[in-house]
Amino acid sequence: MKIDGKLLAKKVLEDIRTDLKSLPQITLAIVTLGPEDAWEHYVKQKLKLAKELGIKTDLINIKEPTEDKLISIIQQLNNNNNITGIIVQRPLTKHITGAKITYSVKPKKDIDGFIKNSFFLPPVWLAVKDILSEVAKIKNSKLESWLKNKNITVLGKGETAGQPIIDGLRELGIEPKIIDSHTQNSEGILKSSDIIISAVGKSEAFAAADLKNGVTIIGIGLHREDGKLKPDFDEQEVSRVAKYYSPTPGGVGPLNLAYLFKNLIEAAK
C-alpha cells in the first residue's frame, strides 16, 4: 500500500493557512551557494509554496562562496528583524564547514532544526513520523506501541536526513540499526528489518531481494542521474514485497516541505 505524502501534507498546510490569517508579513530568507543547477530543484518548491501561501521570500545566491562571506550574510539576516526564518540550502561546498554554518544561524530562525536542542524539530523527522503514524493508524495502534517491537533500520546518517531521523527515533525510546558505507552484514540487517528508512541518495541502495515480505519502506534519498532525480530504490520492484511504502517523489518530500513552513509559522509566532 502506498502512503501518499501529498495527502498528509494537506492537513499541515490547512493549519498554516489558518495561522497566517492572524500573523503579520512573514519573510523567509534562502541562501544558496554556487551555480543554479546545484540547488534549483530543492529551492524551486520552497519558492512555489511560499508564493501560494503569500509568504515573502528573499533569495540570496553567493556565486563564489567562502566560509567568511557566508557567515557574514547569515549574521546580517540574523540581525534583520524583518527576516522570520533562514535556510542555508544544502549541500554546502566542500571547503565550507557544515557545523560552523549551522551554528551561525540564530536559533529562533533555524527553521531547518539543525541546531542541537533547537527551537524546532527537523521537518524531515516530522514528515517521517507522520508517515509512520499513518501506518500505525491503519493498524489501529498508537505510534509508540506499534514501533515498540519492530526492527527499524535507517540507511544513511547525513546531516539533512539520516541523522535527524535517528535522533527522532531515539527521542521516542527506539534505538534503530544504522547502515552506512562501513556497515558489516548489511544484507542480514536489511533482511531482518520490519521498517526501513532510506536516506542514502544513490541508486540501488537495496533491492526487493534484500527485504522480507511485509516490510514498511520510507524513501527519502534523491540523487541526479542522467539529468533526472531518482530515488534510492526501484519503487515498482519494492512495492511487490513491502506492505506499506512511501513513494519518492510524493512521499516524504511534500510533508517535509509542509513542516518546514510550519516551523516558519512557529518562528513568526
CA 269, CA 267: separation in Å to the nearest integer?
5
CATH fold for the domain made of 123-253: Rossmann fold (3.40.50)
Tell which CATH classification among 3.40.1210.10, 3.40.190.10, 3.30.70.1060, 3.40.50.10860 matches the domain 23-109: 3.40.50.10860
Cα–Cα–Cα angle for 252, 196, 213, rounded to 5 degrees? 120
As a whole number of angstroms, the distance between CA 199 and CA 212 comes to 19
Structure confidence by residue, pLDDT tens digits, 20-64: 999 999 999 999 999 988 899 889 999 999 999 999 999 999 999
Q: Could you give the count of Cα atoms lying within 13 Å of 1 in the half-sphere of its Cβ?
A: 10
* pLDDT classification of 107: cutoffs 50, 70, 90: very high
Q: Where are the domains of the chain?
A: 23-109, 123-253
Note the pLDDT of residue 119: 93
Residue with cell 492572524: 22
pLDDT at 227 over 80: no
Sheet harboring 85-88: ordered strands across? 56-62, 27-33, 85-88
Name the nearest CA neighbour of 169 among 125, 110, 228, 214.
Answer: 125
Q: What is the pLDDT of residues 151-208, one digit of tens each?
A: 999 999 999 999 999 999 999 999 999 999 899 999 999 999 999 999 998 888 998 9
Contact 144, 119 (CB under 8 A): no
Task: Write phi, then psi, for 136 (nearest 5 degrees).
Answer: -60, -40
